[in-house]
Structure 1
């Protein structure tokens, strides 16, 4: 176990990681480097380990209760994002961010209503929205991989003319591009949403993972966002996907909507997960800062390696997340280069195709690993072209 100020991305060997039984490590054979699903190759933060261990020793494995998670998130938001508007009384625990998104969309839309997304975007947005019997409507990012406000307004206008209740599922920070939306962009989004009667539901799961020096702006903190809803979690920031818990947060104008969420939804989160997430937000910031520094190093490393070994790949280093979005269209590997990188290079990255419009010819690569693994992955990917 390393200290919480050491780079956690350098703490574990591949041999240690291959003992894990999660999806990342059990989907592919051992000769494949898994740089796909959003799990990081890190030991857990000390405060999280202690919280879970003490719960086990107490036999504290019942149902979740109380507002400690929300209080910890409010404290974290005030300190990290200079936002004191996260009101504990306007929060509710939900099983995880995507199931929370589903519950929020149920509150503000009906069957067949449009849900607007900004592709290329996290594939479960399509799957969960479709499963919910809502209609995915795309407003693609611009060529700079930022929100295209003109395109967004056009889609909002069309959805308003079509009747029904439209929602905008905002990915902030954006997955897979790592784009951090500015206060100006989010204020413009809020104004458009109010003008056209569109309800905003913001997935802010990657909010703790912003590059040093870049400011994350919570959607609910901008003027005009009072009727917005947000989903937040410590899951991505502290690598806690297997400890299910998240928070739904309502703006002042959405409090009545959140109050209509069925009480049984709050039975879904793991009590141990809630304890772990609370400890992460309250006591795990030193570990997070060490991780953020390591991820920043990895972004620079990847940029240098691609320039040297795969100059045909276009990569705009993101300002957040532990993911890299790689434009491989110039390599001549077709619409799904991930298939070639896996089959011939033995590197598992995410295909860009499920990310929607703009995903063809792209891959998503997980940077949440040791620098040596990134070096080997790029070496293997480049060898595919030789």
Structure 2
């Protein structure tokens, strides 16, 4: 099974990435990688699959090739192609861990042992846990195979990216069937009480982390992140300043809308900031409200049924696209609040529904008195 996983990951890499990944993996030393590279070069041009078989044969001759070790190679490959997976942001709340637990989440080996200890309480002994440190972030892979199945089950893999000293964790591959047990494993291993999904998904995990960090930052910490996180674990989500739009100028041409354009850009900077927006490929709004337009369909008004509708925005970067449309006068500014509030809400799925009625204490007393009468 280990060789199958190893070959599957080698095949996914580009040719120039294969040997770099093997060096980062450190299962083979530099001398072994050099000999392997020279041996492959001496042969005629081979396919990626044949190259993977050659590498697997060399690794198989060494001791210590376990599923945990192969999982580390898979995490290295994932770091190079993280946008190929769908990620979801989660929030860890109500910290309660001791000093020993806090220390464990700084070390890949200690965190791995913590997770193994918790996973054994819910899953059988065939599970595998791999954790590596990459650019200040803890990347992890949990393999949770079904019992009595000897073949490799890629759909039973769960990946996570944890930002140390923060309550944010990014997951990919969470299944409904074991979500409750995995959540319990994470909260105990990281020293928290609850793991909550943020309804924030996408392929660009740094943008998800940026939005989630800004939501749960306190006081001036958000400003500190913007100016001082270069070189740290948050360096890959540093804000990029937007270039000022070029204004067309000519001595014989007067732009009568120049003031309007400046006002439009000022409003957009106030709503979205001057920075390039986080990358979200999707925005979704679901509407579940009573039908209220009696002029169009009077029979549907106040009939007790809810009107269901769904609107989706899709693109390479939806927030940036919306801002550019408004800047080019294709949308009215200021934009609706349900579009401009996305960064502050840290979510890209919204439900517009009827608010439940709240009963005040005075109303409760009135109801109780009427019942007594």
Structure ID, larger Rg:
2
> Higher relative contact order at CA 8 Å, sep ≥6: structure 1 or structure 2?
1
Q: So what's the TM-score if we normalise by structure 2?
A: 0.20
Q: Give the structure with the larger strand fraction.
A: 2
